[in-house]
Amino acid sequence: MLSYIRFSLILNLSLVNLLDLVMAKQTRGSFEGTLPDTGFLKQFRHLPKLVVFDLDYTLWPYWVDTHIDLPIKKASDGTVVDRRGVKLKIFAETKKVLETLKENKILIAAASRTQEPPAARDMLKYFDLDKYFDFKEIYPGEKTTHFQRIKKDSNVQYEDMLFFDDEKRNIVTISKINVVCFYLRGDMTMRILQEGLALFDQKRSNQ
C-alpha cells in the first residue's frame, strides 16, 4: 500500500513538472527563437520596397526627449533602464514586425525628429533593434529632409515606400511627396503592419 502511494505521488509530481514546463514555454516571449508567420504577405499584389518607421510612440511608448530621465543604460540583469533605474520597454510586437519585414527582404528605415538623437539610438541599441534597420535618420527638423536622405541612400523611390507615424502633421507632410502613410494611433502590432501593407497595396493598385 505504501509503495502504491509513493508511486502515485511521484507520478503526480512528474505530471505537475511537465505541465509547468509546457506553461513556461508558452508564456516565454512568444517570438524568441521562432520566425514570424509571413504567409499573409502573399495576399498583396504590391509590397513596398522600403518601410519607414517613426520611433517615439511608434516602436516604443515614450518621447525619449521628454518622458525618460536620461541617460539610458542596460542594467546588469539585462533590462533597459533610465538614470533612476526605471525599467523601459518597447511595444510587445515591435521586434516581430521588424523581423517579418526583414525575412521578406523589405528594407527598413527610421525617421525620427527627436531632440535627443543619442537617446533614440540607445533605445535601438539596447533593445537589439539596430540589426533590423538599413537606414537611420534621427535628428530634429522637417521629416521631408529625413526622407530625401533615405531616398538618396536607398535608391528607392517615394512611391515604393510605406511610412508609419503617430503624428498627423508628419502624415500630412510626407503624403505630399507620394509616400503611402499610415497614421498610427496605438501600439505597433502585426495587425497594424497588415493594415499598412493593405493600404499600400490598395493605393498602388489604383494607380
With cell 526627449, the residue in question is: 65
pLDDT at 38: 61
Is residue 62 a contact partner of residue 88, using CB atoms and an 8 Å limit? yes
Instruction: List, run by run, the mean pLDDT of 10-residue segments along the chain (207 residues).
Output: 44 40 36 56 91 98 94 95 95 98 97 97 98 98 98 98 98 98 96 96 89
Residue 129: φ, ψ to 5°:
-100, -20
Helix (H, G, I), strand (E, B), or coil: what is residue 126? Answer: helix
Helix (H, G, I), strand (E, B), or coil: what is residue 34? Answer: coil
CA distance 119 to 129: 14
Q: Looking at the annotation, which residues are catalytic?
A: 54, 56
pLDDT at 36: 58
**0.85 exceeded by the pTM?**
no
The answer as to CATH 3.10.150.10 being correct for domain 37-205 is: no
pLDDT at 85: 93
pLDDT at 37: 62
Cell numbers of 154, please? 536607398
pLDDT at 40: 78
Cell numbers of 108, please? 527598413
CA distance 131 to 206: 34
For the chain, domain boundaries: 1-30, 37-205
CB 103: neighbour CB atoms within 10 A? 12
